[in-house]
Amino acid sequence: MFGLFAKPKPTTRLLTGVTAILSASHRDQATGRIHGHTWEITAWFRFKSHIDQSVRAYCLNQIVSPLDHTCLPDAIAWGEHLAEYVGNTLNAPYWDGPASRDCVAVDVARPSERIYARWEA
């Protein structure tokens, strides 16, 4: 009888992550002035022992590199939107390769300012 009311054991999952650095500018929403930041973007994936992390790092860099040292468009100029853009791009059906479509979270950080954002699938 007590088994019916027992709490189920929480399921655990292993994640692995890769990080890319992005230095770019964006417009301040209030003033319209351009200023820059350096973001650390970490993509988290379900652990799969047969996938080399360098493949995932390459995929992340393919997304981030074109944005480096540019003025970000308003649609992805904020950490939350940038995290969502990276996560959705990594999980997009057209993205080929063994690291595709298993990104479960993306963290975007401006560590010097202690500002963070997270997107989760």
Q: Where are the domains of the chain?
A: 14-35+47-120
Beta bridge mates, 24: 37
Given CATH 1.20.1050, say whether it is the number of domain 14-35+47-120: no
Using DSSP's 3-state secondary structure scheme, residue 114 falls into coil
pTM of the model: 0.84
* CA geometry: angle 52, 57, 59, nearest 5 deg: 100
| Residue pLDDT, tens place only, 17-51 | 999 999 999 998 889 899 999 999 999 998 888 88
Q: Give the whole-number percent of the chain exceeding pLDDT 70.
A: 92
